[in-house]
A = this chain, B = another copy of it.
Amino acid sequence: MPFVVQKYGGTSVADSERIRAVADHIARTRRSGDDVVVVVSAMGKTTDDLIRLARDVSRVQPGRELDMLLTAGERISMALVCMALAELGVAAASFTGSQAGIITDGTHTNAKILEVRGDRLRDAVARGVVPVVAGFQGVSEAHDVTTLGRGGSDTTAVALAAALGAETCEIYTDVTGVFSADPRIVSTARRLRQVSFEEMLEVAATGGRVLALRSVEFARNHHVPLHVRSSFTWEPGTWVTEEVPVMEQAIVSAVTSDASEAKCTITGVPDRPGVAAALFRALADAQVNVDMIVQNTSLEGTTDISFTVPRTELAAATAVAESLTPTIGSAAVFVDEDVAQVSLVGAGMKTNPGVTATMFEALAREQINIQMISTSPIRISCMVAAGSADQAVRVLHTAFGLDG
Contact = CB atoms under 8 A, between A and B. Distances in A.
A44 to B, nearest CB: 12
A60 B76 contact: no
B83 A76 contact: no
B72 A57 contact: no
Stoichiometry, copies per complex: 2
A132 to B, nearest CB: 9
Interface string A56-69: 11111110111011
Interface string A5-17: 0000000000010
A58 B21 CA distance: 12
Nearest to A82: B65
B75 A62 contact: no
Interface in A75-97: 75-76, 78-80, 82-84, 86-87, 93-94, 96
A20 interface: yes
Contacts of A82: 62, 64-65, 68
Contact of A20 (B19, B57, B71, B80): B57
A57 B75 contact: no
For this complex, into which size category does the number of interface residues on chain A fall? 35 or more
A80 B53 contact: yes
A56 B79 CA distance: 13
A372 interface: no
B99 A83 contact: no
Contacts of A66: 79, 83
A53 B76 contact: yes
A350 interface: no
A26 to B, nearest CB: 13
Contact of A62 (B56, B69, B86): B86
A16 B53 contact: yes
B60 A69 contact: no
B50 A62 contact: no
A76 B56 CA distance: 13
A28 interface: no
A125 interface: no
A143 interface: yes
Contacts of A96: 68, 145
A60 B87 contact: yes
A50 B56 CA distance: 22
Contacts of A143: 99, 120
A54 interface: yes
Contacts of A79: 54, 65-66, 68-69, 72
Contacts of A54: 79-80, 83
A65 B83 contact: yes
A20 B56 CA distance: 10
A53 B76 CA distance: 9
A66 B69 CA distance: 19
A49 to B, nearest CB: 10
Contacts of A87: 58-60
Interface of A: 16, 19-20, 50, 53-54, 56-62, 64-66, 68-69, 71-73, 75-76, 78-80, 82-84, 86-87, 93-94, 96, 99, 120, 143, 145
Given A65-B94, A66-B79, A75-B75, 7 more contacts: A16-B57, A19-B57, A58-B87, A62-B83, A64-B94, A68-B75, A69-B80
